[in-house]
Structure 1
Amino acid sequence: MAASWEESVEYSINTIYLLFSAYLVFVMQLGFAMLCAGSVRAKNAMNIMLTNVVDAVVGSLSFYLFGFAFAFGEGARSNPFIGTSFFALKDIPSSSYGYDYSFFLFQWAFAIAVAGITSGSIAERTQFSAYLIFSCFLSGFVYPVVAHWVWSESGWLSPNSSNLFLGSGAIDFAGSGVVHLVGGVAGLWGSFIEGPRVGRFDAFGKPIPIRGHNATLVVLGTFLLWFGWFGFNPGSFDKILVAYPDTTDQGNWTSVGRTAVITTLAGSTAGIVTLFGRRLIVGHWDALDVCNGVLGGFVAITSGCAVVEPWAAVVCGFFAAWVLIGLNILALKLQFDDPLEATQLHGGCGAWGLIFTGLFAKEEFVIQAYNSGTVGTVRPYGLLMGGGWGLLGAQVTEVLVIAGWVSLTMGPLFYALHSLEILRISIDEEVAGLDVSSHGGHAYVHSDENHPRFYAEYVSLQDN
């Protein structure tokens, strides 16, 4: 039956909104590239920028061929644990207008972000061939399975499932766990198996600072990621024209602005707390610490951005900052070397974000986001908001199963690559830099006027 004029308009507006959000999320790849490039030494800038491009290129094909089907496939092999393994596009949810390619594009933009997170953990010491292997596996299989659990209507942890886990399902609205915790745990195993960079710790285990070469790129990358997060979080309302009967607000469109504000408040709070917290610890103001603090707040609020009040976002950001600071201190004590703090930031703050949602989710917002305001609906909500233990139990379960799944898949993969001696570059290559050893030259034009210190190092390496 042909759709009515009103349905056509509604579909068009929802599609435009979803595509616009997908474009914003894709801009985050540029943010990752700038952030990562500025955070590494100049001799590895070309390598890190290439890996970020590869995330998008490899992720496009792997998510098209396999990933989307694992995440959202509705074919004969679909089940609560894993989607169908058939080719993806034939399993895209259909509508009266045919296949919804805009939904695929939005989900693809999320998938390629996961590999970008992991690349930061193993920066400056990883063979490019190994990167191609794990990036494809992560975006084509490991991440999509988790996305299926939480975001597919047939997923066993999904809050949209007909059989809700613990009567609630896990609320991970835009992916503190599905995206960030997955990337963080994968980075944990990669960095742990590879070991620290040459010179990161002295013979007594004392950390030696290795500063990135360009703070300007780090700040630029942070603002690009901030911009992209307005597609990441509010954009996860993939349909904004949805009626909310018998509730205060009247549709998803009324929640989009609130979600954007909540995202901003959490990131800003985490940034300012990190600024002052690190000032007390190290004795000076550091723009790079603020950047990571802001991102940590965004990661944490991504789970509950649609179901909490603005004041709760401030609470989320405050504790996210201390989670990040504490895990960074612990990482140094354990001689764990993550050049971009990706494990601590995305893994630690992502886990906190899931727990936070289980504590502070508001009943009215939960019903709006997951039941379209159906009259008489009762759902568990935040424990500290009077909603009982059901939601918090589901959130803790999500943290544990993601950590377990990613460890069981990515851990053995990194170990196998290490055993085959195709994971880490040699000491000589690491000292010279990946740009020279693997990519035919540096990212920058060198001259005595423009880069005197780096040029002298480069000439010395060439002479030797």
Structure 2
Amino acid sequence: MDSKVVADTLWVLVTGFLVFFMNLGFATVESGFARSKNCVNILSKNFIVFAVSSMGFLLLGWGLMFGDGNGFIGLSGIFMVSGADNSPAVGAAYQGVYSAISWTGVPLWAKFFFQLVFCGTAATIVSGAVAERIKYVSFILFSFVLTLVIYPIVGHWIWGGGFLASLGMFDFAGGSVVHSVGGWAALSGVLVLGPRVGKYTKDGKIHPIPGHSMSLATIGAFVLWLGWFGFNPGSTMAADPMAISHILVTTNTAGVMGILVSTIVAWLVVGKPDLGMSINGLLAGLVAITPSCAYVSVPSSILIGAISGAIVVVSVIFFDRMKIDDPVGAISVHLVNGVLGTLEVGLFAQDGIAGVSTGNGLFFGGGLKLLGAQALGVVCVGGFVFVSSLVVWYIIKATIGVRVSLKEEMDGLDIGEHGNQAYPDFVMQKTSYTLISKDIGLEFARQNKAGTKEESKV
């Protein structure tokens, strides 16, 4: 076998492993932002969603997405992954039924695994937005439909040789295909579910519900940051040193600018450098650079990350005021910045900057052509995913229901849905700071008095 195919295959598999590892990042970020009484439920959802996604994508999703067909859907090799991939060497004639992904010479199963972990990411995004009040079985059912049909159809339009690709839309690593799909599905789910009990008072005031572990959330943020170094550079699906290096730096730069700007904006708006906003600022920058990481310069990635860092803070506050209850900020991170990042391809793209021909964006003399194609893609993806997801949510609501009972929500989904707790030996106690202050004051006075006596003896 050709040495390039070997190198490319190893690269695709290793980066696929990193993207798979992002499941842990999502699990810890979401559970950290949730209350301790729902920790097991969050972890369990993130654990099972990849299994559900894997089966949905294997049975039908892959074929709908990459199977030869028309501009809207794949029609060949749709049930199970079928059709031999007879391209063992660079330049060999492709003889399978998945022509849209024949541009990379790695084996069929390497292609499948890499795309599979992306599919799982889209479903995981939904988990955080609907946290702390959704039925476990309802989430599983929706995730299966999302990865079986909805996600693959959008993927076909953009990555599977569909009509959006033919109209000139670009999405290098999934700003629309993965992040906005998960975001639109999450938004529809939140609207059907409604807010958590106690989140908004009768007079319309917002009641903050803090997460139980910022330590878990921060660990998860670092895991996701690491995983993105597989998510974006791995989308080359080839061990191309120049392209990989360029994408790695644009990705990291946008992420760090997201952290810095979101921290500053939160500091100005809420008066403190809020860690939760900093975490979401990182993720917003990484999401926004995802569709354009191979098409923009490093200076442009600085601007993309900075814009996202500011937007995510404003977006989180906006959705809260609109009474759209998203416990982890998933809609602001993945939907808002997935859409924003897709449009920014049409603004910041520079033709051939990492060996990819896209044409120039508006800010580099390309006019409105590329921006128009990106905007059309945003509208088509948003309309289809939001409406189809809304239909699925309402069908689930009308049949088995989507929301747990009031008692179960108040007691916590860990007990109601799973029969166990994340911290069974940990008793929450409300600290009386008045008593502590009084005790400290008395102890200080006692020690000061004793010290004065000792000094008088001397």
TM-score range, shorter chain: 0.7 to 0.9
| TM-score, normalization by structure 2 | 0.88
Structure 1 37/94 Cα, relative in aligned 2: closer, same or farther at 3 Å? Answer: farther
Partner of 1:104: 112
Match of 1:358 among 346, 351, 354: 346
CA distance in 1, matches of 2:175, 2:154: 12
CA distance in 1, matches of 2:84, 2:49: 22
Task: Report the Cα offset of residue 80 of structure 1.
Answer: 1.4
CA distance in 1, matches of 2:163, 2:71: 5
Contact 2:284–2:308 (CA under 8 A) maintained in structure 1: yes
Contact 2:291–2:341 (CA under 8 A) maintained in structure 1: yes
1:121 counterpart letter in structure 2: A
Contact 1:273–1:321 (CA under 8 A) maintained in structure 2: yes
Say how many residue pairs are matched. 414
Partner of 2:272: 284
* Deviations 1:240-268 (CA, angstroms, capped at 9, x unpaired): 3xxxxxxxxxxx32111111111111011
Contact 2:5–2:88 (CA under 8 A) maintained in structure 1: no
Structure 1 residue ranges without an equivalent (≥5): 1-6, 159-163, 241-251, 371-378, 455-464
CA distance in 1, matches of 2:312, 2:8: 36
Task: Report the Cα offset of residue 93 of structure 1.
Answer: 4.8
5 Å-filtered alignment, 1:261-410, equals 261-365=249-353, 368-370=355-357, 380-410=359-389
Structure 2 residue ranges without an equivalent (≥5): 90-95, 97-106, 432-458
Task: Report the Cα offset of residue 91 of structure 1.
Answer: 4.2
> Is 1:423 the equivalent of 2:402?
yes
* Deviations 1:307-345 (CA, angstroms, capped at 9, x unpaired): 100000010011112221222222122111011111111
| TM-score, normalization by structure 1 | 0.87
Contact 2:262–2:281 (CA under 8 A) maintained in structure 1: yes
* Deviations 1:324-377 (CA, angstroms, capped at 9, x unpaired): 1222222122111011111111000111101111101011227x225xxxxxxx
Moved more, 395-404 or 412-421: 412-421
CA distance in 2, matches of 1:92, 1:313: 40
Contact 1:189–1:411 (CA under 8 A) maintained in structure 2: yes
Moved more, 340-349 or 97-106: 97-106
Task: Report the Cα offset of residue 141 of structure 1.
Answer: 1.1
CA distance in 2, matches of 1:325, 1:93: 46
CA distance in 2, matches of 1:434, 1:395: 40
> Is 1:439 the equivalent of 2:421?
no
> Is 1:125 the equivalent of 2:133?
yes
Match of 1:57 among 51, 56, 67: 51
SS of alignment partner, residue 2 of structure 2: helix
SS of alignment partner, residue 256 of structure 1: helix
Contact 1:73–1:83 (CA under 8 A) maintained in structure 2: yes
Partner of 1:459: none
1:385 counterpart letter in structure 2: F
1:90 counterpart letter in structure 2: S
2:142 counterpart letter in structure 1: F
Larger radius of gyration: 2
Contact 1:72–1:92 (CA under 8 A) maintained in structure 2: no
CA distance in 2, matches of 1:123, 1:447: 22
SS of alignment partner, residue 340 of structure 1: coil
> Is 1:84 the equivalent of 2:75?
yes
> Is 1:189 the equivalent of 2:176?
no
* Deviations 1:105-129 (CA, angstroms, capped at 9, x unpaired): 0000000001110111100000011
1:144 counterpart letter in structure 2: P
Partner of 1:157: 164
SS of alignment partner, residue 95 of structure 1: coil
Contact 2:64–2:75 (CA under 8 A) maintained in structure 1: yes
Match of 1:41 among 8, 14, 35: 35
Structure 1 59/421 Cα, relative in aligned 2: closer, same or farther at 3 Å? Answer: closer
Note the aligned Cα RMSD (angstroms). 1.6
1:174 counterpart letter in structure 2: A
Task: Report the Cα offset of residue 453 of structure 1.
Answer: 5.1
5 Å-filtered alignment, 1:97-246, equals 99-152=107-160, 154-158=161-165, 164-165=166-167, 169-240=168-239
SS of alignment partner, residue 11 of structure 1: helix
Contact 1:36–1:340 (CA under 8 A) maintained in structure 2: yes
Contact 1:173–1:236 (CA under 8 A) maintained in structure 2: yes
Structure 1 207/72 Cα, relative in aligned 2: closer, same or farther at 3 Å? Answer: same
* Deviations 1:45-68 (CA, angstroms, capped at 9, x unpaired): 000000001111111111100110
CA distance in 2, matches of 1:296, 1:332: 17
CA distance in 2, matches of 1:203, 1:231: 46
| Percent of pairs with identical residues | 36
CA distance in 2, matches of 1:338, 1:55: 19
